[in-house]
Amino acid sequence: MRKRIAAVALALAGASVVAPPADAGQGRGKVMAYFADWDVYARGYHVKDIETSGSAAKLTHINYAFGNVTGGGCAVGDPWADHDMPYDAATSVSGQADSTEPGALRGSFNQIRQLKKLHPKLKVLWSFGGWTWSAGFTEAAKDPAKFAESCYNLVNDPRWAGVFDGIDVDWEYPNACGNTCDTSGPKAFTGLVKALRAKFGRQLVTAAITADGSVGGKIDATEYGAASRYLDWYNVMTYDYFVAGASPAGPTAPHSPLRAYPGIPSAGYYADAAVQKLRRQGVPSAKMLLGLGFYGRGWDGVTQRQPGGTATGPAPGTYEAGVEDYKVLKTKCPANGRVAGTAYAKCGSQWWSYDTPETASAKAGYARSQGLGGVFAWELSGDTADAELLRAIAGRC
């Protein structure tokens, strides 16, 4: 997901606001991926796995998901996973057990601190909101300075000093509907990120945003072009366009199409449409990162191999119906078709769409050819133990 001092007050009143660094988003090759704090539970994926898989050496940035947005401010999402859970020597990045002294930093935050010691150029942002906690942004937008102050104080809390290099806000969706609906107006998002920039100064400030490229869709509901002035870049969530949860009877369709294709269920629901619409709004190409999913979306009860078939409902998944990690699908249901720049697979009665190393690499190539700032992925635990997808992406950035 992702201050009431004189400087902020002046900024919000129309005084000058600290702009992003001059080179923000201008260089190609950003490779970012999300690490979700809940991965440490059922998935058994820890920060150490980012190192042992080889992912850390390929990444330029990590987004830590998610912090909560509540009461008009930022809050820790999961205290146990984030900064309390002790790691022993075998499971820690450094090979040393966490301190048992009162007040000592533990959990994933301490593991990230250790990871950054091994990779000094790696930057980490704390992402707030996400699908579940985005409802809190409506209250936050009423007093952006209060929100910015709360978030700055939390991200830069002395208990985890040096862990984070900035903040990412994942508001799903300003002036539109996601898990809940927001009616704050098209300027609310701009006001929020303007306040964050004023408070965070030259620390990184980014945002994960909709990739709805349809006419009158979610991109049109917010002034993303105006807001981009205050941000280092956008993470454009170019995935989850078509999912079985929303259309259990089908038609089957790739969840992350790069381009349109004959029979696409909804016009504008593909990555290139979002990129071009954001450009027309005024978002610089270099301030956009193209999103990829390290997972697939699937239907069951399907007889047609090609997209567009009928179904009886979501395909079974390890953690959620209709969703499965790439690392599982690559052997459980190998890709046997391609459409619109992504892959799909028909195995038995199931139909899945997901990116393979080949299509992920091609998408990274598209991002580079379009002058985008790079690529990002949701999320690291879905990749193989040797980071097949991330390596493919990094090789083209």
Active site residues: 172
- Angle, helix 271-281 to helix 357-369, in steps of 10 degrees: 20
Angle at 172 between CA 169 and CA 176, to 5 degrees: 130
Around Cβ 365, how many Cβ atoms within 10 Å? 15
* Contact partners, residue 105, CB within 8 Å, separation at least 6: 83, 113, 159, 160
Best CA proximity match to 73, nearest among 176, 165, 155:
155
Bridge partners of 233, per DSSP, are 206
Sign (positive/negative) of CA torsion 302, 303, 306, 308? Answer: negative
**Judging by DSSP bridges, how do beta strands 30-36 and 374-378 pair with one another?**
parallel
> What are the angstrom distances between the C-alpha of 189 and each of 142, 169, 175, 306, 322?
11, 10, 8, 40, 31
CB 37 within 8 A of CB 65: yes
CA–CA gap between residue 61 and residue 381 (Å, rounded): 16
Q: What number of H helices and E strands is found in the chain?
A: 14, 15
**Judging by DSSP bridges, how do beta strands 73-75 and 61-70 pair with one another?**
antiparallel
